[in-house]
Amino acid sequence: MNSQDYEQIQSAPQLRPMARGLRYLSAATIDLPLLVFVLLLCCIGLSALYSASDGDIDLIRRQATIVGVGVAIMLLVAQFSLRLVRRLAFYLYLGGVALLGLVLAIGVEANGARSWLDLPGLPSFQPSELMKFIIPGVLAWYLAAQPLPPNPWRILVAGILTLVPAGLIVLQNDMGTAMLVVMSGFFVLLLAGMHLKLVAVGGLLVILASPLWYIFVALEHQKSRILSYINPYTDPAGAGYNIIQSQIAIGSGGIYGKGFGEGDQSRLDFIPESNTDFIFAVIAEEFGLVGAMALISLYVLLMLRGLQIAINARNIFARLLAGGIVLIVFFNVYVNMAMVIGLLPVIGLPLPLISRGGTAIIAFFIGFGLLMAVGANARKSRLPQN
Amino acid sequence: MSRRWHFRDYQAERRLFKRRVALVSSVICLMLIILIAKLAHLQVVRHEYFSARSDGNRLHVQYVPPQRGLIYDRSGALLADNLPVYNLTVVPEEVGDLNATLKYLASLVKLTPDDIETFQNQLRRSRVPYSSTPLRYVLSEEEKYRVAVNSHRLPGVNMEPQLMRHYPFDDLAAHAVGFVSHINQQELDALNETEFENYGGATHIGKTGVERTYERLLHGQVGYETVEKNNRGRVMRVLERTESIAGRDIGLHLDYRLQMVAEEALGDYRGAVVAIEPETGGILAMVSKPGFDPNLFVTGISNREYSILVDDEINTPMFDRSTSPYPPASTIKPFLGLAGLDLGLVDYEYTILDQGYFNLPGVSYRWNDYTMRTAIGGGHGETDLRKAIYQSCDTFFYDLGYRMGIDAMHNFMSLFGFGANLALDVGYARTGVLPSRSWKMETRGEPWYPGDTVNSSIGQGFMLATPLQLATAASVIANEGRMVRPRMLRSVDGEPWPLREEFPAPDVLLENPDYWRYIRDAMVMVAHRPYSNVFRDYGTAYEAIARADPDMSYQIAGKTGTAQVVGINQNVRSSSEIRVSDLNTDHALFIAFAPAGHPRINPKIALAVFVENGEHGSTVAGPVAKKITDAWLLDILRLDLSIQPEPGGEPTQRSPAEVAAVNE
């Protein structure tokens, strides 16, 4: 849209209130490619859910409502000025940590994780889901204040900022989200230019510590997940069942898939958690390798657009924020898919924008809204001042 | 660190960020290659394997049990049909905690320990995985409702409709028709490979009687269906179906009306009746009393009910008296008489002077005439063969038997089916004992004594015959020597079904066919010769038959028998109150065929009546036989028995009046 369009819209008096809203929204805040990719993914998600739930219209309607609210929130967040976001980052962080503390005190348990907060007047939600986007914000705020690359002291402080909420989430018994929070901090540090030697040393420490974690810390269900990852057929009816049935679904889909609604494994309920964590198996069964590749391509396009926004961002804060958001989203996608096909042990992470969910999907829309805000900020800087 | 924040190099920081993005992107590329490679490995390289696994998850082959053939009587009445019922079945693979589920089910429906034990025995058998196993048969309406309401709490528990064998007449002909019951391990082991396959999904098998004999015809051919099941084992759709082939409907010679008459005629007595159609050998009625309700066995009889049936040592309702051996007593006299005539040992003029006892040459022991026991003593005086039959004179037959010898007696009697099971499709019938020298040596290890021959010649001693054998032998006399082996099966699917006789029993050929008519007339006199001034010169069944029904429109040829009972245990258990003195009462027997000596109509029925502890063949068994022949000839066949002399021609057979006049 150019300025002539605005004049035309403004000239139509009956459209004025809406046009004013449109002008406000369209002041280059919406990133069209990003919006298209997000909406495409949401559509795929809803149709996959239709198949996975065996045509449960109520469920689809509920999820479509959440997606609609999410898109609205995304467009709203895209309006935020980056300066405001930067100023608020630390307070959001403090608020987020406080909520995590509150969860430990009065949280509600669901699916083994005590991570839900049921406050009066609000729908129940998971503060931990929001944390994976608050961390890039607060670290970007902290690291951008000093020249990059950050010195070891600042890395240490950033690490502490990350590990405090991650630790609280571990206490909620939600290892997947805790790992995401840690990784989001790590990605911001990596993009900020943390020395690669430190990355290598850190990686080595994790590898060395993992056997100790396995022996002394890991819980029984975590151990069985690791074991069934190594060989699912040691306990085919128990811990290995999910991954075996998921692989049967994907493998039987073949190159072109069995067709929409024709996935025997999903239709006959052989895929566990087919609405949530294992929804990729439903897609791969019904649309085959071709469909799975198309979905992966869509995520890659989303990521590339995100990285482009990050590179073109006007300042360090915006760059780190955008880059952190893109990487954590993609990491989430990758871990989910790798888990479903048996490349990684079973970790309870949903597939962003596709899996059924409430807070999780809203959190992603907030993340994409921030990404759009960064893009808008960059374009605004190139526009002549008015 | 040389850099200071106020000398911040934004361009360098931007370059650093771009380098990091490039680094991360290349790592991501590598990860994506691994992901896609794994995906392609699953979906392309191992596609076939996983397709098979997917089909294995959802596709199940299950049996479609065939519908069991029906059993009709000769009039078209259903003796065994199939009724739809709902059974409670369990797929153990889908039940989480089997014991908890069984406990919960027991609170909803009646489950006896027997039910649970039978169920668990079935689980131990080799079975198709995910096939349902019956737990309780025939749920009541209320039980159906309770299970349906709680079905969400009962994964793997289903109510399956099934056609269940049902015997509409309950205990009528229970021994002859038999029953089906749960198939057991021995029965499965006895099947060959193709038969075993054919019993897939089968829960019942014929256990006794016709149900067992014609199991192969009745069972049918099992079908198969490929069904798609979901993760909870629910059948979503049937993909392929090979229909089962229903078993064949069979028709029996049995007539339910005659069977009813026979069972009623026996009254409260324990006993048996076998009635045969002489022309076809078809078994018209086969009664053993007391009976039992075969329907109890179909649904699984409880231990308590079963012990009531088997622990009763007196009434023994499960015991089939119609095919079990008893001393035939005097009922064998007509056959022995035929033997005497045919072997030339007696003729129509031969007489003895009966003094009431018989001595073996050189032996002082007296064989008394047992028919004299209750009378004033003495003998029959001048006695020929005919009188020896209608007066049942033991002394005559002691003498005849002794002169005949056991070897000739054995050979001749075996022609009538004694000592063997001639029935074509009553395989479970006992053979009885037709004693011989070799038989005694084999079973007793003793040589044959002349005294044994004397005992055998009045059907006592070692000699044992089943009611079925006696009826068969009677039908041979009715047929004047033509042997038609007895049979149950009359038709299959409504078509006549001739039974193949691999070893046909030969007809009985006599030197002079007139002997048949002589013996028949003697037997007619048993039932019809009236009292006269001559001492002891009436038929032994005259009182019970001809005198009881002076308007009789036809003649019965019969023979009474009274079998001595020896050695009853005093400590028998029984459900009914029976005095031991009653148990020592003699068994009453009667063999007969009718109409006898009719100018137009050949005998239509031959029968044997056995009444346990009935005391006298004449007084108890005779009236039973009369009721049966009346029912068959008059009520069921509705024969026109009137005798019109052929104009100008000699009557081919003697009229009753002539028969009665012969001895005057």
The reply to whether residue B25 touches residue A254, judged by beta carbons under 8 angstroms, is no
- Each residue's pLDDT tens digit, B458-498: 999 899 999 999 999 999 999 999 999 999 999 999 899 88
Measured CA to CA, the distance from residue A126 to residue A105 in angstroms comes to 14
**At residue B144, what is the residue type?**
K
Tokens of A242: 């999910």
CB pairs under 8 A between A and B: 134
Summary mean pLDDT of chain B: 87
The minimal CB distance from B42 to the residues A187, A303, A341 is found for: A341
Task: Tell me the β-bridge partners of B587.
Answer: B563
CATH architecture for segment(s) B256-661: 3-Layer(aba) Sandwich (3.40)
Contact (Cβ atoms closer than 8 angstroms) between residue A71 and residue A365: yes
- For A323, which residue in chain B has the nearest alpha carbon? B21
pLDDT at B651: 46
Measured CA to CA, the distance from residue A76 to residue A370 in angstroms comes to 10
- Each residue's pLDDT tens digit, B30-59: 999 999 999 999 999 999 999 999 998 888
Beta strands in B487-630 (DSSP E): 489-492, 495-496, 557-563, 587-594, 605-611
Measured CA to CA, the distance from residue B340 to residue B511 in angstroms comes to 11
Phi-psi region of B419 (alpha: psi -120 to 50; beta: other; left: phi over 0): left
Give CA A369 to chain center in angstroms: 12
pLDDT at B649: 46
- For A299, which residue in chain B has the nearest alpha carbon? B32
Q: Which of residues 205-264 of B touch A (CB under 8 A)?
A: 228-232, 236
> Comparing B60-252 with B256-661, is the CATH topology the same?
no
The alpha-carbon gap from B133 to the nearest alpha carbon of chain A, in Å, equals 22
The reply to whether residue B43 touches residue A250, judged by beta carbons under 8 angstroms, is yes
End-to-end CA distance of chain A: 17
Measured CA to CA, the distance from residue B178 to residue B321 in angstroms comes to 14
Q: What residues of B act catalytically?
A: 330
The minimal CB distance from B231 to the residues A149, A270, A292 is found for: A270
Q: Which residue has the higher pLDDT, B404 or B136?
A: B404
Q: Which residue has the higher pLDDT, B566 or A12?
A: B566
The reply to whether residue A248 touches residue B47, judged by beta carbons under 8 angstroms, is no
Measured CA to CA, the distance from residue B584 to residue B314 in angstroms comes to 12
The reply to whether residue A284 touches residue B50, judged by beta carbons under 8 angstroms, is no
Tokens of A331: 């990491």
Supply the DSSP symbol for B576.
S
Residues of A in contact with B36 (CB under 8 A): 293, 296
Measured CA to CA, the distance from residue A214 to residue A42 in angstroms comes to 37
Contact (Cβ atoms closer than 8 angstroms) between residue B483 and residue B452: no
Measured CA to CA, the distance from residue B546 to residue B630 in angstroms comes to 12
Closest CA to B266 of B621, B660, B655: B621
- For B235, which residue in chain A has the nearest alpha carbon? A268
CATH architecture for segment(s) B60-252: Alpha-Beta Complex (3.90)
The pLDDT profile of chain A, 386 residues, written as one tens digit per residue, is: 444 444 444 444 455 555 555 555 555 578 889 999 999 999 999 999 998 888 889 999 999 999 999 999 999 999 888 889 999 999 999 999 999 999 888 888 776 777 788 777 777 788 888 898 999 999 999 999 888 888 889 999 999 999 999 999 998 888 888 999 999 999 999 999 888 998 999 899 989 988 888 888 888 878 888 888 888 887 777 778 888 999 999 999 999 999 998 888 888 888 888 888 999 999 999 999 999 999 999 999 999 999 999 999 988 999 999 999 999 999 999 999 999 999 998 888 899 999 988 888 999 999 999 999 999 888 876 554 43
CB atoms within 10 A of CB B149: 10
- Angle between helix axes A57-77 and A32-52 (nearest 10 degrees) is 160
Residues of B in contact with A343 (CB under 8 A): 34-35, 38
Quick check: pTM over 0.80? no
Q: What are phi and psi of B84, to 5 degrees?
A: -75, 130
Tokens of B343: 């072997």
The minimal CB distance from A252 to the residues B13, B50, B232 is found for: B50
Tokens of B347: 């003729």
Q: Which positions ≥6 away from B105 have C-beta within 8 Å?
A: B88, B111, B135, B147, B154, B157
DSSP states along B69-81: PPEE-TTS-EEEE
Tokens of B575: 């459900």
- Each residue's pLDDT tens digit, B189-226: 888 888 888 888 888 999 999 999 999 999 999 999 99
Residues of B in contact with A293 (CB under 8 A): 36, 39
Residues of A in contact with B39 (CB under 8 A): 250, 284, 289, 292-293, 341
Element holding A116 (H helix, E strand): strand A113-116
- For A286, which residue in chain B has the nearest alpha carbon? B43
- Each residue's pLDDT tens digit, A22-76: 555 555 578 889 999 999 999 999 999 998 888 889 999 999 999 999 999 999 9
Q: Which of residues 37-56 of B touch A (CB under 8 A)?
A: 38-40, 42-44, 46-47, 49-51, 53-55
